[in-house]
Structure 1
Amino acid sequence: MRNWFFILLFVISAGSVFAQSAPKNEPAVIDSVKAKWGKVKNVNGVAMISSNNIIENITLSKEYSTLVTAIEDAGLTETFKSKGPITFFAPTNQAFEKLPAGELDTLLKPNHKLDLNYLITSHAIVGKVTVKDIQHKINSNNGEATFRTIAGTTLIARIDSNRNIVLIDDNGGQSIISKFDIQQSNGMLHIVNAVLVPKTKNI
């Protein structure tokens, strides 16, 4: 009877030691994953990793296939792979579908490469700008913030009645930031629900 008591005591003690040691290993594993991959954010069902650049991340999702094609045709792939930092307001496929019929097809033609380049770079600004940065600038400037794009165009940011950040292009067209603060190795990615169209080019 005494032998069974010591066996039981040994099993309980061993279980207690195992239970205490297991959690100690967990942070090390998590830290290792973070060190290798960086921050991971789910965007349209795809895990975008902060150690990837903008091109590497948007090519992971079919939701940005039109954008990827447009970037390639505009000759901007290396720009969005560069060290940056670049903050990019990325339109989804559905955003491009909101353009007038035939407009995107025209832009994707070789003789409209410069127009396409101008349109895409009108969605990018220099630096790593978070939504908190945008909100702060809006609040510090009487409810309106102005940003200069890589293309030299202007984007105006405001907060609407639903607390969404709305970007307004040169034509007065509005686009809502639907997903935000997706960190990239070369900047920051925000998703917008409409294409931002510059006024000074005929597209």
Structure 2
Amino acid sequence: MIKSRGILGLALTAGLSIAGLGAVHAQGVKTVGGAPMYPSKTIVENAVNSKDHTTLVTAVKAAGLVDTLSGAGPFTVFAPTNRAFGKLPKGTVEGLVQPQAKAQLTQVLTYHVVPGRYTAADLMEQLKANGGRLELTTVEGDNLLVRRTKGGLRLTDTKGRTSNITIPDVMQSNGVIHVIDTVLMPS
């Protein structure tokens, strides 16, 4: 009898632990760049806490897009990491954040933003409905091609550069962020 209570107690404890994990998952709190991303906060409020997105945050500030990405949205943001920005030719980022390059920087950043909230499941559903090919029109005006790969989803820019979604569905109060591994460029 004591053994069965012990096993029952262990089972209940395990069940509560799993239920607790489910609650965290259900709330959608993911960790990006060592920081929790709270669905109750805006894209900007969360992004400033990610150690993996300091370059992106600096660029958003330099382009004057903080108010826009803090607004109601909804937005889908494909957020390049610091490592993604590091793949660009030497001096590119430093040049883009200069005041005289604000228009070009804004163009690059808004190419990573799509109006509306598109989760990975939404993108997969649209891919299926469109025969495996999906083009999204960005805020910048050019299209991004979305394709499914064995590992998830891949984006292709107008120049043929590809970027993989490494962390999908980071939910925000004003949209969703998908972390990507390469900076995309408009035409």
Length, aligned pairs only? 171
Unpaired runs of 5+ residues, structure 2, are: 1-8
Structure 1 match to 2:6: none
**Which of 177, 181, 191 is the equivalent residue of 2:169?**
181
Structure 1 stretches of at least 4 aligned residues deviating more than 6 Å after TM superposition: none
Counterpart residue type for residue 53 of structure 1: T
Q: State the 1:39 CA deviation.
A: 3.6
Q: State the 1:164 CA deviation.
A: 2.1
Q: State the 1:43 CA deviation.
A: 1.9
Is 1:74 aligned with 2:47?
A: no
> Quick one: percent identity of the two aligned structures?
38
The structure with the largest alpha-carbon Rg is: 1
TM-score, with structure 1 as normaliser = 0.78
Structure 1 match to 2:105: 116
State the SS of the aligned residue for 1:179: strand
Q: State the 1:124 CA deviation.
A: 0.4
State the SS of the aligned residue for 1:125: strand
Structure 2 match to 1:100: 89
Aligned positions of 1:1-203 closer than 5 A: 39-160=28-149, 162-199=150-187
Counterpart residue type for residue 98 of structure 1: K
User: Separation in 2 of the partners of 1:39 and 1:91?
Assistant: 20
User: Separation in 1 of the partners of 2:109 and 2:153?
Assistant: 20
State the SS of the aligned residue for 1:147: strand
State the SS of the aligned residue for 1:100: coil
Computed over aligned residues only, the root mean square deviation of the Cα atoms, in angstroms, reads 2.2
State the SS of the aligned residue for 1:83: coil
